[in-house]
Amino acid sequence: MRIANAYIFAAAFVAALLFAPDFSSYAADAQSGEDTRKYIQSLEKRISDIESLVQKLLKGKEPAAQAPAPKDTIAKEKTKPAADDEWGEPVVSAEAPGGRDPDARRRLTELETWKRKQDAKIAKEAEEAADKVKFDFSGKYKLRVNTRSNFNLNNPLQTWQYDNMTYFDQRFQMKIDAEYGPLSTAVVFDKGNFVFDWKEDSEGTLDRLSEFQTVNSALVRELYVQYTSNYVAKVGRQSMIVGNGGIVLEGPVDALKFTHPLGMTPLGRMSATLSYIAIAGGWKNYNNFTYPSGDRTAVLGVANKLDGWLLSFNIKPKKDLTIEPYILKVFDRGKSDSPDLNLDKDFNASTTPRDGSFEPTWIGIAGHGKEGNFSYKADLMYLTGSYTKNRDISAYAALLRGDYDFKTVKAGLEFGRGSGNKADDPATEDMKYFSGLFLCKERRKFGNIFSEDIRAGYFLYDSNLANVTFARAIAGFEPVKKLKTNISLAKFWTTESVYKGRGTVSNWWDWSRGAATSTEKTKDIGWEMDMNFDFPIYKRLNGFAEFGYFVPGNVYRRSNGQKADSASEIVLGAEFEF
């Protein structure tokens, strides 16, 4: 502003000089004092007129609001003399940094334009994808070679073709998922689970190679539709698990399931689940059952008229702790002409006939968590209700396990106990053998032989914890990189004493079927050692090896009084996931 005023003042002064009248005549006569005084007054008036003119010019040029000067103008002005020294040398200052060069600005503009186009393209694709159904395919194929020895424990009445044999079997699963908005559906085909011939108290085999015509068609393990929003609704055949799994309920069931989050509560973050289950597992007849081994064709397609209701809560008091209390109740709508549930395990519909009073109730709590390097899980269950019209149920079971990770070795201890009846309990006594509602191949096992094939506890209303108590030590490590190794040693007892040679549940259809005549009692089931290996072969292809060695105790003593020989198993195989 000061520089502008100086310019205006100088311009006015020059104009005044150019248009001023000629005072040379006055100068010539300036000899007298009067002339000199008049000359000075004339100059003063002229200067006053010039100052007045400058003030008028300044008022006319002053803007209403001062706008910021352009950077180049500021830079030029900085090279002009300072306001307080109008005629001094100009003060030169550094120029303000200039903007981007034209090429950089052009490149930036191109990038911004490209990004806007990409964002628009992604938004359009997302909008189009929202209107399309998303599909996903996955599956697993498992191939095994099995070598078994003395799985009948020298008992001719329990002999099966595959008790002493080497054979190949396989299992194939394929899953198709579809998703559209909040709706999703899935179908799982499972060839080799519930679709094989079998031996009671044994898991049996998978789909055996070279004998495919003897095995039933593939099982649809899952087929459901699910709606997910503020709650989850799932209807159809689905894999359902109660608690930590494998004790009360685990496997494919036809069900309607609702899950609703309850948010944060005084107990922690919580959700509630209510399910209706159409329970499978009844037998329409035993025509195709070849004693003691057969197939499950008579099971498929049977309307049991057996309903289950499950209410459970999932509670997370903290990040690494989950607690699940639950209650599972069964209602029986069957009659004498309804499918036999084979509760007495004798495959005879005329014994323990269906009377519509099989209504057990499981009340339990399960939990699992982790504290530092220590992990744990526990299941506690009480079983009550009615077994038949004239017999009630009163049973319990508990499973506890803890593992500590020592970095190089992971060591664990497991303890399990299931209730049972005493050997001399009358038939009118409450049913005290603990059983689960429905269990499949993925049920809880505690070894490779006893809990899997000697006392499998498999299918409808059975358990490998029925009158069984065990303690098991486990160690997991990697002797070679990526070779996961697991070794365990277990000791088994009966919870209640039984007669020697009668099996763990002596007044059911069980191991020796009454062939042993000893009246001596025992709790000695035996002990077992197992080794399992897992290792990668190729991407998505893993290999495994399983070894088991079971030494039977007095519970499986032979009818001649001698102890049974040990049983062993070797399984080698590979599994491909895609």
Instruction: State which fold the 133-577 domain adopts.
Output: Porin (2.40.160)
Q: State the Cα–Cα distance between residues 392 and 359, nearest whole angstrom.
A: 9
The answer for residues whose C-beta is within 8 angstroms of residue 310's C-beta and 6 or more apart is 240, 242, 249, 273, 274, 275, 277, 326, 327, 328, 329
**Residue 451 DSSP one-character state:** I
> With bands split at pLDDT 50, 70 and 90, how would you rate the model's confidence at 559?
confident
pLDDT value at position 18?
43
CA torsion sign, 122 to 124 to 130 to 135?
negative
The answer for residues whose C-beta is within 8 angstroms of residue 492's C-beta and 6 or more apart is 450, 468, 469, 470, 525, 526, 527, 528, 553
Q: Which of 87-91, 269-273, 498-502, 552-556 has the lowest mean pLDDT?
A: 87-91
How many alpha carbons fall within 13 Å on the CB side of residue 384?
4
The answer for residues whose C-beta is within 8 angstroms of residue 567's C-beta and 6 or more apart is 148, 149, 150, 151, 153, 449, 454, 548, 549, 550, 552
Residue 310 has pLDDT above 80, yes or no: yes
Q: Which residue has the higher pLDDT, 38 or 74?
A: 38
Q: Which residue has the higher pLDDT, 511 or 439?
A: 439
Q: Which residue has the higher pLDDT, 539 or 211?
A: 539
> With bands split at pLDDT 50, 70 and 90, how would you rate the model's confidence at 290?
low
> With bands split at pLDDT 50, 70 and 90, how would you rate the model's confidence at 115?
confident
pLDDT value at position 221?
86
Q: State the Cα–Cα distance between residues 353 and 332, nearest whole angstrom.
A: 13
Q: Which of 528, 558, 559 is nearest to 546 (CA)?
A: 528
Each residue's pLDDT tens digit, 433-457 = 999 999 888 889 999 999 998 888 8
The answer for residues whose C-beta is within 8 angstroms of residue 543's C-beta and 6 or more apart is 534, 535, 536, 537, 573, 574
Q: State the Cα–Cα distance between residues 161 and 173, nearest whole angstrom.
A: 26
Residue 473 has pLDDT above 80, yes or no: yes
Calculate mean pLDDT across residues 115-131. Answer: 83
Calculate mean pLDDT across residues 400-414. Answer: 96
Note whether 482 and 502 are within 8 A (CB): no
Residue 520 has pLDDT above 70, yes or no: yes
> With bands split at pLDDT 50, 70 and 90, how would you rate the model's confidence at 24?
very low
Q: Which of 6-10, 263-267, 527-531 has the lowest mean pLDDT?
A: 6-10
> With bands split at pLDDT 50, 70 and 90, how would you rate the model's confidence at 3?
very low
> With bands split at pLDDT 50, 70 and 90, how would you rate the model's confidence at 15?
very low
Distance from the first to the final alpha carbon of the chain: 80
pLDDT value at position 73?
47
What is the average pLDDT value for the chain, to the nearest integer? Answer: 82
Each residue's pLDDT tens digit, 128-171 = 777 788 899 999 999 999 999 999 898 887 888 888 999 888 88
pLDDT value at position 125?
82
Distances (CA, A) of 68 to 5, 58, 96, 460: 18, 19, 15, 89
Residue 374 has pLDDT above 90, yes or no: yes
Q: Two tokens at 344?
A: 């007495």
Q: Which of 137-141, 297-301, 309-313 has the lowest mean pLDDT?
A: 297-301
**Residue 556 DSSP one-character state:** G
> With bands split at pLDDT 50, 70 and 90, how would you rate the model's confidence at 519?
confident
Range among 75-89, 196-210, 270-284, 536-550 rated most confident = 536-550
DSSP for 111-163, please give it: HHHHHHHHHHHHHHHHHHHHTS-EEEEEEEEEEEEEEEE-TTTT-GGG--TTS
Q: Which of 331, 336, 338 is nearest to 277 (CA)?
A: 331
pLDDT value at position 575?
96
pLDDT value at position 209?
62
Each residue's pLDDT tens digit, 62-104 = 444 444 445 454 444 444 444 445 445 555 444 545 555 677 7
Residue 1 has pLDDT above 60, yes or no: no
Calculate mean pLDDT across residues 452-479. Answer: 93
Distances (CA, A) of 482 to 175, 430, 536, 537, 577: 28, 51, 7, 10, 18
Q: Which of 413, 552, 416 is nearest to 488 (CA)?
A: 413
Q: Which of 21-30, 134-143, 237-246, 374-383 has the lowest mean pLDDT?
A: 21-30
Calculate mean pLDDT across residues 407-433. Answer: 92
Looking only at the bridges linking them, the beta strands covering 249-265 and 436-439 are: parallel
Domain layout of the chain by residue ranges: 2-67, 133-577
pLDDT value at position 285?
75
Each residue's pLDDT tens digit, 190-224 = 877 654 556 767 777 776 666 554 445 557 889 99
